[in-house]
Amino acid sequence: MNIVLIDPRANRMPAESFPHLGLGYLAAVCKESGHNVRLIDFRMLSESEREQLVRESHEVVGITATSFTYDDTLKVAAKIRESNPGVKLILGGPHVSVAADDVLIGSPFDFAIEGEGEVTLKELLKELQNGSNDGYRSIPGLMYLENGKTVHNAPRPWIEDLDSLPEPDFSSLDMKQYSHYPLATSRGCPFLCVYCNCGTIWGKKWRFRSPERIVSEMEKLKQHTEWGEKSINIIDDTFNLNSERVEAICDLMISKNMGIDFYVWGFRADRTPLNILQKLKQAGCLCVSVGVESANPGVLKRIRKGETIEQITETLVNLKKVGIYPMCLFMVGNPGDTLETVRETIRFVKKNRLYLVAFNMALPYPKTDLWDYVEREGTFHQKDYTNFHHYSEKPIFETPDFTSAERSEAFRLVQRLERIQRIKFEIWRKFMLIRRGDFSAITWKRVSASVARLGKYVMDLTLRREPEEKL
């Protein structure tokens, strides 16, 4: 069968970008089953090219959706349906798991896949290829409409052996347009943070790929000479749950002299001792993202972070000691947060000289404890979570101890801090390269990119100048 898999995001391709990993896995599964497949990233297409694509004749089209992109997904699907009445439209992505009861109602989709999609899609395509009219009714993880109501088949068990999956296939994409390659080494998260729906999307059991399969994928990537100086992004929700596995990955990379730079998302501050951090640096790790969330111990306890501020501080110190810079992620507005606890977090950032920082509004999503908390103790200003955005200065909700006005003020303060710290980081990074005599890293391309980033931060700071309160 001829299959098209679409990432419907139509925004401009950002400087820091990578292809959709989930669609890469689905493309690989389709090819493994003998189907012809095209993976389409709408960010790579002009508006006229997108219009031409939706008018083409298709057998099966799969479109992924987050809550942020769901409206775009519906528009694309409706245009495809209009041009291809007989096409089979399949919806996937995190939004299906979050809003399972509602996604098909009034939509042009024939099917939706809840949870991990690889095995479910493979079985559905087999039924469609065989011309079966009702064989899909027994496929776990599949949803469809019947008499105007959503039918949920039995849940699909989580894939225990992630090594059984083929490596993602991006062969139909122009990979030169991306700055990073996404790599998943595990799925699932056993922790219970109140704001997170990872357990709904990937399950609460942590499942992992073997170090051998991970490094093998890296080796194959290295053979693609067009990748050049680009880096790998490990995009796990919880990469370093098991320190022995992290060490094994590093040992393999070091023994093979990989020479690959990589970044790590989803890095726990309470799980990796100093000696493992040293090996990560030796293996090529440049930066890890640490979810600090708040510097206030009471907030950390209420959101069930499972870490103390002392553990977080120690890890941040150790990361900088070995030469891996931490990207520190914070949230504004979680349970227990107030204007004063946000000020406490700002003081923490300054005291510990954290330059790579990012602040997001706490956003409640269905099937999270944060959603239940707001319904129980706060007031929603809107509940259409497909319109939520982390960077919005307008709060989605408020509580008696943290009003909307205070939340907006807090967010303005942390946004200003974020811009100032990024400016400091760009200057500090170039100074350290010069101090170490590492002139090989100061290429024209990198200097140009750094100047562009610095200019953006300065412009943002200038155009959004607010009086900085005494903290």
Q: What is the CATH number of the domain that holds 299?
A: 3.30.750.200
Total count of domains within the chain? 2
pLDDT tens-digit readout, 360-370: 999 999 999 99
As a whole number, mean pLDDT of residues 287-307 equals 97
pLDDT tens-digit readout, 194-227: 999 999 999 999 999 999 999 999 998 888 756 6
Could you list the residue range(s) of the whole structural domain that residue 40 is in?
A: 2-152
- Flag whether 10 is in a domain: yes
Residue type, 347: R
pLDDT tens-digit readout, 250-278: 999 999 998 889 999 999 999 989 999 99
Q: Using an 8 Å Cβ cutoff, are 263 and 287 in contact?
A: yes
- Flag whether 184 is in a domain: no
- Flag whether 465 is in a domain: no
Which residue bears the tokens 């931060």? 457
Percentage of residues in the chain having pLDDT higher than 70: 89
| Domain endpoint, select from 152, 167, 193 | 152
- Flag whether 439 is in a domain: no
Q: What is the reported pLDDT for 343?
A: 98
Together in a domain, 27 and 112: yes
Q: Which CATH number do you get for residue 101? A: 3.40.50.2300
Together in a domain, 406 and 262: yes
Residue type, 267: F
Whole-prediction pTM value?
A: 0.89
User: Which residue pairs from 306-310 have beta carbons closer than 8 angstroms and sit at least 24 positions apart in sequence?
Assistant: 306/191, 306/192, 306/193, 306/270, 307/268, 307/269, 307/270, 308/270, 309/348
> What span, in angstroms and rounded, lies between the C-alpha atoms of 383 and 394?
13
Tokens of 57: 């004749």
Together in a domain, 141 and 219: no
Helices (H), 223-359: 243-255, 274-283, 297-302, 309-322, 339-351
Instruction: Count Cβ atoms below 10 Å from residue 121 Cβ, excluding itself.
Output: 26
Lowest mean pLDDT, pick from 15-19, 162-166, 304-308, 453-457:
453-457
| Domain endpoint, select from 152, 180, 197 | 152
> What span, in angstroms and rounded, lies between the C-alpha atoms of 129 and 22?
23
> What span, in angstroms and rounded, lies between the C-alpha atoms of 196 and 439?
42
Together in a domain, 88 and 214: no
Together in a domain, 110 and 222: no
- Flag whether 158 is in a domain: no
What is the β-pairing status of strands 397-398 and 379-380?
antiparallel
Torsion of the alpha carbons at 136, 140, 143 and 144, rounded to the nearest 10: 20
Tokens of 420: 């100032």
The torsion region of residue 374 among left (phi > 0), alpha (psi -120 to 50) and beta comes to alpha
- Flag whether 430 is in a domain: no
pLDDT of 395 strictly over 80: yes
Together in a domain, 261 and 130: no
- Flag whether 323 is in a domain: yes
What is the β-pairing status of strands 88-92 and 60-64?
parallel
- Flag whether 86 is in a domain: yes
pLDDT tens-digit readout, 426-467: 786 665 555 555 545 555 555 565 555 556 555 555 545 444
